Amino acid sequence: MVDIDDEVMNLSRKWLPQLANGSFDDPRLHLITGDAIQFLESSASDPFDVLILDFPDAFEKGAEILYAAAFYEKCRSNMHSGSVLVTQSGPCDTGSQDCELLERNVMTNMPDVFNHMGVMYHPMATWKAKPSARSDWTSLAFAFGDDVGQGLTFDKGLVDEWLAREVSGLRYFSGDVYESARWWPAELERILRRSQQSADGDENS
């Protein structure tokens, strides 16, 4: 785990231990305080099986570099053909141009680097830009090394079988949730289609 701010990590360990659920004390954890970009540049010779990226949203000041194709290239150089990358791709606030731009960046930059990628959406009831705002959607983008991504398909039965065999204690995720997350609500699909059309227009101008 690489985090640039050790003060935030220490505060989290002290005041929000339920979120980490003991992971900071797991002997398998190698905790590094540092810059993620510099870390990726220095570790390309030792690829990871899984990369999980959890960054500020791209519309926050200075964070857009973490959603650019150049950064995804650094991630790709740290992956082998069977690796998986998962990244936060932002809240999908259907009324926000900032959120629309973030979705557009992910949907256009990631395919420039990876042959196999996708996005999963789910309701985000715990975060609102304003207390009076409606609950909206958030998303996770994922990309694969060439071997694992080729022809990859899952149904909810296979997901439930794998979870029963490999994971215990989940309180949210299931095969049904996975299957539902693959389908987009109509309004969100219109937003993403409009974003893609804007991106295509920019490329042709």
pLDDT tens sequence across 87-136: 887 665 555 566 666 667 777 888 899 988 888 877 766 655 566 655 66
Both structure tokens of 42: 């220095």
- Return the pLDDT at 119: 80
Of the residues 35, 49, 54, 202, which is catalytic?
54
Going along the chain from its start, the domains and CATH numbers come out as 1-34 (no CATH), 48-204 (3.40.50.150)
146 included as an active-site residue: no
Give tens-digit pLDDT for 129-176: 566 655 666 778 888 877 665 556 678 899 999 999 998 888 888 999
- Return the pLDDT at 130: 62
Give tens-digit pLDDT for 27-82: 999 999 999 999 999 887 789 999 999 888 777 777 888 888 999 999 999 999 88
